[in-house]
Structure 1
Amino acid sequence: MKVRMEFTYRTPKGAEMTCFSEEMKVPKALLLTEDLERTGRLKKITYVDKHDTTWSMKELQRHIEELKTEVHDIILYFDGGFDPETNQSGLGCVLYYKQNNKSFRLRKNALVEELKTNNEAEYAALHLALQELHSLEAHHIPITIIGDSNVVINQLRGEWPCYEFELSRWADRIDAKLEKLGMEPEYVLVSRNKNKEADQLASQALRKIEVVSTKEI
């Protein structure tokens, strides 16, 4: 979760001003608050999230402690491939996340037959990853989604139009799933070279090599 800080600063001679910060992650906001408090000039502070909900410092600290036991700091990689000769698609996803002060990596792939294009396979791979997050009971947190598909990333960002009916349906499914999970996505487009893990899983699925694993890292 990200918040912006709104606080009152008072000089030793009593002059006051109200300050507004840029949006930042909660741990950084709390760290800056501690530093401001050491000056003895911080008189009042509140934190506001993207939904304009106001938090006190104690509420944010409690939120951080509760978050440690839940799945958080999620980075999701996805990739899909389509083989026109067999009309099969390979889906691959990798999830990096933290829980109970430990870091994990989840890898999964799947072979499916009902898709018709590579772009559909890319969307389906992302949907597969979101289903895994549902199984992990992850919810109401920011998430970074990384892929090498210009079409999928830019359509989900809202930067490219989605004229094809099937792709539009997939985009709606992704949006609906994220909304149901209460997740705030940040979409990142990378080169295929930086998406090797998910790409390999998709290729393995096309070769009928199933991969399902969760590992502490």
Structure 2
Amino acid sequence: MNVIIEWTYKTPKGATTVLRSEEMPAAQALLLAEDMEKTGRVKSLCCMDRQDTSWSLKELKAYLTEIASEPHNIAVYFDGGFDRGTRQAGLGCAIYYEQNGKPYRLRKNAFSTELKSNNEAEYAALYLGLVELELLNVHRLPVRFIGDSQVVINQLSGEWPAMEKELASWADKIDVKLAQLAIQPEYQLISRKDNAETDRLATQALNGIDITSTSEIVKDS
């Protein structure tokens, strides 16, 4: 979860002003806020998330403690590919998250013969990511869904209407699953170049190569 710190600063002579930070991860915000309070010049302070919910430092600390052993700071990349000649589809998703202080990546793909278009494949790929989130026991958390499909991203974010029956059905199915998991979605459109990992997973599914893996991300020293 990302938050903004909002605080009232008070000078030694009693003048006050309200200041706001840039958005940052909640753990970083907690460290900074606690250090700011040590100065003795903070009259009041709270943190605001993207849903404009206000968090006290006590609440934020409790939240971070609660989710430490669960997957959090989650980003789901997705992509779907559709072969018009064979009427077959490949789905791919890559989920990046943190758990117990370590970063992980989950990769999953799937093959389908039940879809009718590339847009349907894109929706199905995002739904595949949701199924994996449920298996990870992700609940009541903000999650970023990232893909290169303008149709899916704009329809799910409410920018475009879902006019086609099949796509509207997928959008409804995704909204139901999000509500069941109490996930707060954020949708981000990226270029196909920046979505190469899940494009490759979708292509591998079309070629009969099944991928299911979870690994810790080891950063270069």
TM-score, with normalisation over the residues of structure 2? 0.88
Q: CA RMSD in A?
A: 2.1
Tell me, in whole angstroms, the C-alpha distance in 1 between the residues paired with 2:51 and 2:154. 24
- The answer to whether 1:62 aligns with 2:62 is yes
Tell me, in whole angstroms, the C-alpha distance in 1 between the residues paired with 2:19 and 2:93. 42
Tell me, in whole angstroms, the C-alpha distance in 1 between the residues paired with 2:18 and 2:4. 13
CA displacement, residues 185-205 of structure 1 (integer Å, 9 cap, x when unaligned): 221212211111111111111
Give 1:93 deviation, angstroms: 0.8
Which residue of 2 is the match for residue 156 of structure 1? 156
Q: Which moved more, 1:161-170 or 1:23-32?
A: 23-32
CA displacement, residues 83-111 of structure 1 (integer Å, 9 cap, x when unaligned): 12222111111111111112111111111
Supply the AA of the counterpart residue of 1:190: I
Tell me, in whole angstroms, the C-alpha distance in 2 between the residues paired with 1:203 and 1:27. 37
Which residue of 2 is the match for residue 193 of structure 1? 193
Supply the AA of the counterpart residue of 1:12: P
Tell me, in whole angstroms, the C-alpha distance in 2 between the residues paired with 1:73 and 1:51. 16
TM-score, with normalisation over the residues of structure 1? 0.89
Give 1:15 deviation, angstroms: 3.7
Give 1:48 deviation, angstroms: 4.4
Give 1:37 deviation, angstroms: 1.8
Tell me, in whole angstroms, the C-alpha distance in 2 between the residues paired with 1:61 and 1:91. 38
1:160-199 correspondence to structure 2 within 5 Å: 160-199=160-199
Structure 1 counterpart SS, 2:140: coil
Structure 1 counterpart SS, 2:14: coil
Which residue of 1 is the match for residue 142 of structure 2? 142
Tell me, in whole angstroms, the C-alpha distance in 2 between the residues paired with 1:98 and 1:25. 12
CA displacement, residues 4-23 of structure 1 (integer Å, 9 cap, x when unaligned): 44544332123445556666
Structure 2 counterpart SS, 1:115: coil
Give 1:34 deviation, angstroms: 2.8
Give 1:39 deviation, angstroms: 2.6
1:27-66 correspondence to structure 2 within 5 Å: 27-49=27-49, 53-66=53-66
Give 1:79 deviation, angstroms: 0.8
Structure 1 counterpart SS, 2:62: helix
Percent identity over the alignment is: 57
Tell me, in whole angstroms, the C-alpha distance in 1 between the residues paired with 2:54 and 2:154. 32
Which residue of 1 is the match for residue 99 of structure 2? 99
Supply the AA of the counterpart residue of 1:37: E
Distance 1:135 1:39, change over 3 A: same
Tell me, in whole angstroms, the C-alpha distance in 2 between the residues paired with 1:36 and 1:24. 15
Supply the AA of the counterpart residue of 1:159: E
What are structure 1's unaligned runs of at least 5 residues? none
Supply the AA of the counterpart residue of 1:105: R
Supply the AA of the counterpart residue of 1:57: L
Which residue of 2 is the match for residue 126 of structure 1? 126
Structure 2 counterpart SS, 1:44: strand
Distance 1:131 1:5, change over 3 A: same
Tell me, in whole angstroms, the C-alpha distance in 2 between the residues paired with 1:177 and 1:50. 21
Tell me, in whole angstroms, the C-alpha distance in 1 between the residues paired with 2:163 and 2:205. 29
- The number of aligned residues is 217
